[in-house]
Chain A
Amino acid sequence: MKSSKLMFVVFLGPALLSYLIIYVYPVLRTALMSFFYVQNITDNSSEWKFVKLDNYINLLTDNQLFMQSLKNIGYIYFWGLLGVMFFALLFAVILNSGVRFKEFFRSVLYLPNIVAAVAMGTMWVQYVFNSQYGLLRSIFNFFGLTGLAEFAWTDDTHLLLSMTIAYSFGCIGYFMLIYMAAMDKVPSDYYEAATIEGAGIFNKFFRITLPLIRNVFRTTLVLWSTGCIGFFAWSLMFSNINWNIRTVTPMVYMYNIVFQDAIGMDPSQKNAGAGAAVGMILTILAVAVFTIINFVVKEDDVEY
């Protein structure tokens, strides 16, 4: 069939138009806004005050809080990644090794993902980490580990650690599912051949599974990165009502300077322009991270 130009217009037009209006326009407007002082996010562009690079300079040179927010997502990114990838791979290997009730365990591990972050956050903060009747306290006390039971999960010093653990816990099932799907696709002949040759489980994992699911690592790294850069709901759950320097992330910082509705904040200090600058910095950060990931984890010819 010959292609019809009218067909292109009719079927592509609405999608393209919505893309331009809903995605490209806000991005361009945000980029522009980041060079202005804008008090309210909905202010007419005639009320904007051009401040050159001031928003960026203030954020990157004289702003302990924003710098801390970057450090915080750096912490979550690194330690969370190590923990999540280790456990996700471990569970994926175990479940793929032919254990009974595979479907049941898979569902249980994935379960945290179908619960809203707000509900999960509340559960962790108010129950699991509670210093009076918390789950961890009870478990450690049961085993006689009083030192661990007394551990102050939600105090100022350990809050970031607790938040990283709580967030990562929910992610394990999600990444495990991705790894399991990838492992399922690796032809079983390889394993059979390896078994005949006398390879053990470790050899099979490191020499067959890992190399053949390398591409999936890239996907999971990208997903993990977007999750960390956009880290928001969990931070609010761990420091509700007010922001806290231990749990602040760039998104939370942006939210606060754009809306300023926490306790003790002066609404007249809202600065949507600075918020836009935070958004642009995060965009640049995301692009940089993806470039590095693409560079480090090369695309493979073999893919299952």
Chain B
Amino acid sequence: MRRSRFLSVIALISMVVALAACGSNKSKGETASSPSATQSATTTTETGLKGELVYWSMWNENETQATVIKEAISAFEAENKDVKIKVQWNGRDNGKLIKPALDAGQQVDIFDSDNNSLSGFESYALKLDDYMTKAYASTNGKALKDALAPVFYNAMQVAATDGTSVYGMPYQPYMYLIPYNKALFAKAGITAAPQTWAEFMEACEKLKVAGITPLTVDDAYMGVSRMYHFSRYLGQEGVAKLVKDKTGAEWDNPTVLKAAKDIEELASKGYISKQVATNKFPAGQIEFANGSAAMYFGNGTWLPNEVATVVPADFQWGEFAFPAVDGGVQGREAAIYGTQCLVINNKSNAPDAAVAFAASLVTGKFDSELSKQTKGIAMGTDSTWAPELADAKAVFAEVTTQLTKGGGWDEDADKNAVVGANYIKLVTGKITAEEFVNNCKNNVK
């Protein structure tokens, strides 16, 4: 008995010590942040930027993006001796981790989001409208707003609930388009990238005659052509009506059948690679990268980066906007595009330093570097785009309308998946356009 009481006392003591240790950790954290609270008062003085920043990143530490961001941080810290930036590389799970962290009051000064999720973070985000009118070291004397490509700056405004405010600093943008192999196009005697569906079909025919498989796609990106093709014919609102249709009447619209017929024709004329039926991502990308297919039927501008290690060194990249259709509601000016963005926490103790760092990443040297290293799109008007995306730059120049992430189909995620299952069958030639429309009509309502 004595022994057990002794044991319990030991146990109690150890618990108390453990608890006390937890407590002291916490207070350490609090005291660590309190000096920066006093620092924030001096942040905006002319003596320069100060503060300890914590950045929660959507990149993994070994990704190219992270390498460039690390360089940008070193450069920024070298120029601003009193600023220290710590990064937590969360990878793609960042989007799921960030909100609980913000709610719990953890110190996160800068975090990654994307334009589609931005409105959900408005209550946590610093409004950047005033900052956008200032010039920064990397903006060549221009206001930050003018140093950013208008199409991306607008994307930030569109993402805001009020449609005018800016809550994120855009970077690493993307667009869904059709990447193609210029060498194979030249071999088939195609001199210009197709702009209309008729030209697209013509190009497919020429490729086929030349013995080249015109199109490939993976299961993962199967939806891209559906998002574009149907919204070209019906407009984004028209597509949204289809998924929300409870009567089936919307599917009786002859234009829906026409759009489906186009896809059926692609399959029946043998323009789509036989592999597509069994392609599991990234098998189709590999097929395209090693020159077995001339076009990828809808992918993001990140494709050159994703297949960088697979393509031959002399691969000739080309991109064109999803073709316009006869009598369509929307044309090539409408595109599904978006950007990642750096969001500044409105509770940050050093917001000025955070904004200045973000600006140094999205414009000037590091913007160009990010574009070059990631074979991606540059954000600043003065920055250089990766050569692989030279055509994409021209596509972007034409774009005036931003479609939603799913081109209207995203209005109902469940129905979207149901339509998607039928679309795979249509693309692979297992069902006709009529069957596609009927199946969707019966399944969706």
Residues of A that sit less than 8 Å from B by CB: 1-2, 4, 6-7, 10-11, 14, 39-40, 42, 44, 63-66, 125-126, 129-132, 152-157, 238-246, 248, 256-257, 259-261, 263-269
Contacts and interface: CB of A to CB of B under 8 A. Distances in A.
A131 B413 contact: no
B35 to A, nearest CB: 29
Given A4-B8, A65-B414, A242 B120 contact: no
The 3 A-B residue pairs with the shortest CB-CB distance, nearest first, are A264-B406, A241-B220, A131-B278
Contacts of B278: 129-131, 152-155
Contacts of B425: 156
B8 A265 contact: no
B322 interface: no
Nearest to B445: A62
Nearest to B425: A156
B223 A263 contact: yes
A42 B105 CA distance: 13
B57 interface: no
14 contacts: A6-B8, A11-B11, A131-B278, A155-B278, A156-B421, A244-B421, A257-B413, A259-B96, A263-B405, A264-B405, A265-B413, A267-B116, A269-B412, A269-B413
Given A2-B1, A267-B120, A268-B120, A130 B220 contact: no
Nearest to A9: B8
A267 B117 contact: yes
Given A152-B278, A155-B278, A266 B413 contact: yes
Contact of A131 (B219, B275, B412): B275
A137 B351 CA distance: 59
B266 to A, nearest CB: 17
Contacts of A154: 278-280
Given A156-B424, A242-B223, A266 B283 contact: no
B443 interface: yes
A266 B405 contact: yes
B268 to A, nearest CB: 18
Contacts of A256: 413
B22 interface: no
A118 to B, nearest CB: 14
Given A1-B1, A265-B410, A10 B12 contact: yes
Contacts of A266: 116, 404-406, 410-411, 413
B320 to A, nearest CB: 20
B360 to A, nearest CB: 28
Contacts of A6: 5, 8
Contacts of A157: 430
A40 B120 contact: yes
A44 B103 CA distance: 9
- Give the one of B1, B281, B406, B413 with max A CB within 10 A: B413
B114 to A, nearest CB: 8
Interface in B1-31: 1, 4-5, 7-8, 11-12, 15
